[in-house]
Amino acid sequence: MQSQQAVVSRNILSVPVIIAALGYFVDIYDLVLFSIVRVPSLKSLGLQGQGLIDQGVFLLNMQMAGMLVGGVIWGVLGDRKGRLKIMFASIFLYSLANFLNGTVTSLPAYAVLRFIAGIGLAGELGAGITLVSEVLHQSVRGYGTMVVASVGVSGAILANFVAKAFEWRNAFYIGGALGLMLLIARISVAESGMFRQMASTAVSKGNFLSLFTDRRRFGRYLHSILIGIPTWFVVGILITFSPEFAKVLGVTGPITAGNAVMFCYLGLVFGDLASGVLSQLLQSRRQVIFIFLALTVAGIGWYFLADGVSPSLFYWICAFLGFGSGYWAIFVTIAAEQFGTNLRATVATTVPNFVRGMVVPITMLFQLCRKQFGLEPGALIVGGLCLAIALFSLWRLEETFHKDLDYFEEFL
């Protein structure tokens, strides 16, 4: 008779978990690749100086706007057509778009393809987390989502190595090829049993507007989104524009966005591992997110006190920021656990993408504050606001660690 530990290990490393993890791996590779190759790609299109920041923000916003649109599309389809279909359709779209990114010769074409890639990138994580949450027992599903996130965010490390080893266009080609190769693995994955049971019922599925027609349901949805925004303040502002911050801080050597992204996501790998294990040990999602928000506050403070540090220490600060932001899997899991099976994919897919899409107002506010108060004070104002909102929203959410997910949302 197999030991309980062996059974648990087998369940955590089941095929759906592995495929979801690999899908997120390619998703993250493609998601952060633009931040890594922003400067060389824009220089090759004839931009320089302030244009590298302004047009970099524009292209990042186009990508994130695509993710907002895609989050709604894939989320609704995930509850109506199935988690697996959406996971692999999104992988196909962003892989094709990123492959074509390697062919761009103008800024408008670059912007359109970043928007399309954003739509594709919106679907994989939410569908994967929903699938894993539904196929694993509630006592171990935190471990399953931990595996997905930890393997997934390491895609950023590969993206940095590839971007260093190859010209930026080839880095996009490789990302597109990785995604298309992953589609071959879809043959061996089974759909969630909860979804299959729901598919045979007449219950309303993927009703996105229902999230806004009930005050309590909308509150759960809004607060699920807002607890995640500090992560993308860190990645979208402090890490993406780390070369510019490093100059103002007087770092003693050059800083590249690629290395900053790599160290940040290295920290995220260990942060997601630690937050997943800690949530199982504490049997709480909310306590873990509070701990990691506190670590994020410490990391931001360290970042802006790093006057005159060496490049190596600055990169390790980026890694610590990544570790503190490493509650991404727990954050998406909380969102999935807040809602019934007939609305779960819609929520789990739209929530992380609305958070990613929050980069648009965050960067706009940062640009405004930067011009009004300066680079460092502007970033601190925006970061403080993001953290205050996240802490308030965390206080408003219920604990979901022991929650049974086999139920439907009822619409009046």
Residues 409 and 342 sit within 8 Å (Cβ to Cβ): yes
Convert the pLDDT of each residue in 162-177 to its tens digit: 988 999 999 999 998 9
Spell 153-189 as b/e; 16+ CB within 10 A means b.
Answer: bbbbbbbbebbeeeebbebbbbbbebbeebeeeeeeb
Q: Is residue 352 part of a domain?
A: yes
pLDDT at 188: 55
pLDDT at 193: 56
Q: What are the φ and ψ backbone dihedral angles of 106, each rounded to 5 degrees?
A: -145, 155
Cβ-in-10-Å burial (0-12, 13-18, 19+) of 208 comes to middle
Residues 6+ apart with CB under 8 A from 123: 70, 71, 73, 74, 75, 78, 86, 87, 89, 90, 91, 93, 349
Q: Is residue 106 part of a domain?
A: yes
| CATH number of the domain that residue 52 is part of | 1.20.1250.20
Q: For residue 186, what are its two tokens?
A: 């879809």
Convert the pLDDT of each residue in 27-41 to its tens digit: 888 887 887 888 888
pLDDT at 8: 47
Write out the residue range of the structural domain in which residue 260 sits: 11-184+206-396
pLDDT at 412: 59
The HSE-up count of residue 188 (CA atoms within 13 Å, CB side) is 10
Q: For residue 265, what are its two tokens?
A: 């996501």
Q: Is residue 405 part of a domain?
A: no
Q: Is residue 195 part of a domain?
A: no
The residues of the chain scoring below 70 in pLDDT are: 1-11, 13, 185-204, 411-412
Q: Is residue 189 part of a domain?
A: no
Q: Is residue 2 part of a domain?
A: no
Residues 238 and 245 sit within 8 Å (Cβ to Cβ): yes
pLDDT at 301: 94
Number of residues that this document lists for the chain: 412
Q: Is residue 5 part of a domain?
A: no
Q: Looking at the 3D structure of the chain, how many domains does it have?
A: 1
pLDDT at 227: 95
pLDDT at 226: 95
Among candidates 157, 65, 83, which has minimal Cα distance to 123? 83
Q: Is residue 267 part of a domain?
A: yes
